[in-house]
Structure 1
Amino acid sequence: MEATVFVESEGARLAVFESGDRSAPTVVLVHGYPDTHRVWDGVVPVLAERFHVVTYDVRGAGASSAPRGLAAYRLPVLARDLFAVVAAVSPDAPVHVVGHDWGSVQAWEAVTAPGAPIASFTSISGPCLDHVGHWLRDRRTGRRFAQLRHSWYIAAFHLPFVAPLAWRYVVGPRWSTIVRRLEGVTSHVSPTVARDGVHGMALYRANFVPRLRSPRERRTDVPVQLVRPTRDRYVTPGVIEDVERWASDVRRRVVDAGHWAPVTHAGEVAALVADHVTAHSRSS
């Protein structure tokens, strides 16, 4: 699929892809790390039967440009990227946002912004970092270390020189084999993954320490659906157990899947998204 349009946002050129009826409610799907919009390939055609479906390559990934410097990858900038895409594809109506992994992390930033043009949000395997920061302060040491143990790679990404070189020349070229063996995922790895993985490390470096060290109050009245893959190797259930503290309308769903549920369980994920979107569409 070729980009429908390129959207300019804060020094980045974002490749945007559209499917379905543009007069239907708009659903924007935001991918995570180290993926591109192709992670949604199994979800898009199911949703496009009923909705206007939009995906885009986030900055630093796929066909989008990769600005230099950590400041270009901070959460407020990523939220403004999403708002720029929304303004381009649905200027007259709020959209329904779905995020996976880092796509969900950055979407939380947008969802918790006052006046966000977002009608509903489905979060898959990507918590709000500010919520996690508060959670880490409030929870027992055992719970904290359980998540930290699952997040060992984040510390590795902060290693200067070593981490980018290891990803570009060792991990990236073998990423397809790695995720196939660990997760049973075979269809979504981009040919740009070695490059994208290096650029995407800026997401972790620009945001994790500041947000966990000094978490902000991030609240929302946008209806939130939390989809938790029960076999996720990287995100533990604890980091989303306090979401009701920050969001006024929360529904919880589980999928018997690993971290890449949008790939391995695309039909089930699409059904959950469609249900949530329908429940919160003006036409419903």
Structure 2
Amino acid sequence: MPAHWKETVTLDGEDFLVRHWGERGAPRLLMLHGFPEYSGAWNDLAPLLAKRFHCIAPDQRGYGQSWRPGEVEQYKTALLVSDVLALIGDEPLILLGHDWGASVAYALAIARPDLVNRLIILNGAHPATFQRELARGGAQTNASQYIHFLRREGSEDTLAADDFARLTALFSANMDMSWLEGETLAGYKAAWRDAAGLRGMVNWYRASPLRLGGANEATEGLSFDAERVQIRCPHLLIWGKEDTALLPQTTEGLEEYAPDLTRVEIAGADHWLHHQKPGAVAEAILKWV
């Protein structure tokens, strides 16, 4: 088994928990989790990549054992990116993101292309294509209606009640959750902790400027200058085909923003592909790199 350790580091004056797999000195692969996860979400995938890479995975701001400010304004994208930039330092690396981690990864690759050699996204969406589908009033608008609930004040209390029953139900959303049991489930619940622990996670939704109407309702979305949101490095998109939370329409036209794009689809996997099919995901990454 590759080496595995964790440490607490100071980023911009605050404490963040960071997990590592592999050997120091190997090419760095930074892994950014999504909602409602934490750095332990990579426990299945990272060991398969650590034979070649030094895998680095933080609990992002508001999650797990990292800094969890309560104020919504502390979760603006620029601040989330700043945390990751402080962790990266001056040397470029390979960046991998899933779900909300994909949003941070895209923003970082756009803002600091000098620090991202390659970009890997697992079931995540570029901000321009995602906003287009959220605003359209179609299938993705309807699939994302849960965002309205999460943005409401006090949603964290509802999610934490009855041993996180509502959060677990939201997590599953008609997808295969057979992997969320035993030590994995215990690890997630320990990371969630309580309603105060969930507030930071939910604040990512509250702070997001992305616009969403009601069910079947088209709305005016944010506009993006295509030239300013380009992904200029090689980009790999790995997609679990059964995802019901993030639909494939959100990746249509991605080549306009990422001309050096490779797409890989994973059958029999959904939004949680890194838990369900870690071997297939690792194989796709290692073959592409």
Task: Name the TM-score class by shorter chain.
Answer: 0.7 to 0.9
1:236 aligned residue: 247
Note the C-alpha offset of 1:206: 0.6
1:267 correspondence with 2:279: yes
Q: Give 2:148's match in structure 1, choosing from 146, 152, 155.
A: 155
2:28 aligned residue: 26
More deviation in 179-188 or 219-228? 179-188
1:164 correspondence with 2:156: yes
Distance 2:99 2:5 in 1: 24
1:118 aligned residue: 116
1:185 correspondence with 2:184: no
1:281 aligned residue: none
CA gap 1:241/1:19 in 2 versus in 1, 3 angstroms: same
Residue correspondence of structure 1 range 188-227 to structure 2 within 5 A: 188-189=184-185, 190=188, 191-193=190-192, 194-195=194-195, 196-209=197-210, 213-217=221-225, 218-227=229-238
SS in structure 1 opposite 2:61?
coil
SS in structure 2 opposite 1:213?
coil
Q: Is the 8 A contact 2:233 2:260 kept in 1?
A: yes
Runs (5+) with no aligned partner, structure 2: 213-219
Deviations 1:84-138 (A, max 9, x none): 1111xxx4x311111111111111110111444011111112212233224556x
The alignment's C-alpha RMSD in Å is 2.4
The aligned amino acid for 1:237 is P
The aligned amino acid for 2:107 is E
Q: Give 1:63's match in structure 2, choosing from 56, 61, 65.
A: 65
CA gap 1:12/1:134 in 2 versus in 1, 3 angstroms: farther
SS in structure 2 opposite 1:119?
strand
Q: Give 2:9's match in structure 1, choosing from 6, 10, 15.
A: 6
Note the C-alpha offset of 1:267: 1.1
1:131 aligned residue: 129
Q: TM-score, normalising length from structure 2?
A: 0.83
Note the C-alpha offset of 1:208: 4.1
Q: Is the 8 A contact 1:147 1:235 kept in 2?
A: yes
SS in structure 1 opposite 2:208?
helix
CA gap 1:210/1:114 in 2 versus in 1, 3 angstroms: farther
The aligned amino acid for 1:152 is Q
Q: Is the 8 A contact 1:132 1:239 kept in 2?
A: yes
The aligned amino acid for 1:117 is L
Runs (5+) with no aligned partner, structure 1: 279-284
Q: Is the 8 A contact 2:5 2:21 kept in 1?
A: no
SS in structure 2 opposite 1:216?
coil
Residue correspondence of structure 1 range 94-109 to structure 2 within 5 A: 94-109=92-107
Size of the alignment, in residue pairs? Answer: 266
Q: Give 1:145's match in structure 2, choosing from 138, 147, 153.
A: 138
Distance 2:30 2:81 in 1: 13
Q: TM-score, normalising length from structure 1?
A: 0.85
The aligned amino acid for 1:243 is L
